[in-house]
Amino acid sequence: MNDYLIIFLIFLLYFSPVFYQIFKLLRERKEENKKLLKRLLRFTKYSLLLLIFTSVIFGILSHTNYLNYEKPLSFDKYDQITFQNFRGLEFFKKSLYGNKRFAYVVTTIESDFEDNSVTIESLFHPSRSFVYKKNTNSKELLTHEKYHIKITELFVRKAKENISKLNSFDEVKINEIIKKNKSAERKYQQEYDYNTFHSYVLSEQKKYEKEVDSLLDLLSEFKNPKITINDKN
């Protein structure tokens, strides 16, 4: 039987006299009982509010660690990134496939439109990225995680390459291109993790490193976050 079920049943059994009393109280709707019931309901209400408040705080900190916040870093800071920048908190996941020495990185693709230009950037979110131990000396793990950042940058450059081919500045089309590249990036990131099995398969890891580096080099002309489109008609 599942451990949680056992705990739950023990809890029910243990508090069964309490539940029974509440049950009896609810049945006997006398005046004095009503007072007690009101008090109980008020107590339950405050307990629930406290629980909701704590859960919200817990959820916010799980998502972004505002207690140790560092603003998102753009790709030009790539070389400065170490595990010291991984400031996220992880309350639940204690291992990855049984391995306690794990990390994950959170990256996003952000865009901002201006008159006839668009700025597209890959961002690394330190306070949402997690490592099991900040002072770990695992270079392989860091390399694996940092290539996730490079992959995001790769798809940002691909998006900019696609946008540069547009004849006119069309926000709808640009948004479509960004959306398409975002979804391609997610797929590629998943494939990268699957094929390297989170860097366990070193030959695959090296293969990806070569591929990503050479593609980034090929798209180096799209390094600049801002891309301006002048009407070609």
Partner 1 sequence: MIKIKHLFLIIICATLMSCNSDKYDFPLDKRYWDNNDYKEAILELRFGYEDDEKKPTFDDPEQRMIVQKLTDEQNFKVVLTDKELGIKHRNNVSTKFFEHWQDMTQIYQERDRKDNYIYDVEMLAVWHFGLGLQLDYFNLGNEDIKNRADDPNSVRVKNIINKNIGTLVSNYIIYLDEVNEEKALTEEGKSKLAEGIDKYFTQLIELYPEANYSGMKNKAELMFKKSESDKIKSSLTKLIELIDSKKKVELD
Considering the rule CB under 8 A, would residue 206 count as an interface residue with partner 1? yes
Cβ 159 vs Cβ 224: under 8 Å: no
Considering the rule CB under 8 A, would residue 66 count as an interface residue with partner 1? no
Tokens describing residue 185: 């990036």
CB of 103 to partner 1, least distance (A): 17
* Interface pick for partner 1 out of 203, 220, 230, 233 (rule CB under 8 A): 203
Considering the rule CB under 8 A, would residue 18 count as an interface residue with partner 1? no
Site stretch for partner 1 (CB under 8 A), options 4-12, 120-128, 176-184, 213-221? 4-12
Considering the rule CB under 8 A, would residue 2 count as an interface residue with partner 1? yes
Considering the rule CB under 8 A, would residue 4 count as an interface residue with partner 1? yes
Cβ-based neighbours of 173, under 8 Å, separated by 6 or more: 166
Q: In the window 68-97, what residues touch partner 1 (CB under 8 A)?
A: 97
Tokens describing residue 163: 């946008």
Place of tokens 């010291």: 84
Nearest Cα neighbor of 222 from 123, 121, 106, 131 is: 121
* Interface pick for partner 1 out of 67, 91, 98, 115 (rule CB under 8 A): 98
Indicate left, alpha or beta for 202 from its phi (over 0: left) and psi (-120 to 50: alpha): alpha
Q: Which is nearer to partner 1, 91 or 98 (CB)?
A: 98
Site stretch for partner 1 (CB under 8 A), options 85-93, 127-135, 197-205, 210-218? 197-205
Q: In the window 121-160, what residues touch partner 1 (CB under 8 A)?
A: none
Considering the rule CB under 8 A, would residue 220 count as an interface residue with partner 1? no
CB of 19 to partner 1, least distance (A): 8
Angstrom distance (rounded) from CA 44 to CA 55: 16
Q: Which is nearer to partner 1, 58 or 194 (CB)?
A: 194
CB of 136 to partner 1, least distance (A): 18
Considering the rule CB under 8 A, would residue 1 count as an interface residue with partner 1? yes
Binding site for partner 1 (CB under 8 A): 1-2, 4-5, 8, 12, 26-27, 97-98, 194, 197, 200-203, 205-206
